[in-house]
């Protein structure tokens, strides 16, 4: 995450890395939820639930594969994750194309 520095008047930023773990559930209508735990390198742990909708997909090897997803936080930010307290976030996810490799046709 790209956080404001301790003294925000300078405009400085600091990068905090971390690890996310969790699960997702996709409904047959293309909606679903992400349930995740963010463990930041600065020691902060944030649990989150986001709702999403698959907005674009392709058929690959006879299966639908999501290529674009829109998600939105279910509850406002607490401020612990660098996002201002009370803010709701939304994200756009785009799947990168496959790169040819030795196991792909």
Tokens representing 27 are: 């409904």
Over residues 54-70, the pLDDT tens digits come to 999 999 999 999 999 99
- Candidates 61, 50, 45; CA nearest to 23 is 50
pLDDT band, very low/low/confident/very high, at 93 (cuts 50, 70, 90): very high
DSSP category for residue 6: S
Query: What does the chain come to in residues?
Result: 105
Over residues 18-46, the pLDDT tens digits come to 898 999 999 999 999 999 998 888 788 88
> Does the pLDDT of residue 9 top 90, yes or no?
no
């Amino acid at each position: 995450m790209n956080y404001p520095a301790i003294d925000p008047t300078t405009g400085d930023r600091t990068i905090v890395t971390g690890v996310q773990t969790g699960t997702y559930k996709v409904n047959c209508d293309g909606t679903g939820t992400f349930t995740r735990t963010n463990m930041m390198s600065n020691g902060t742990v944030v649990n989150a639930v986001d709702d999403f909708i698959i907005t674009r997909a392709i058929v690959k090897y006879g299966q639908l594969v999501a290529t674009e997803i829109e998600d939105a936080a279910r509850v406002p930010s607490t401020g612990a994750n660098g996002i201002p307290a009370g803010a709701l976030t939304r994200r756009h996810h785009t799947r990168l194309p496959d790169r040819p490799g030795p196991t792909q046709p």
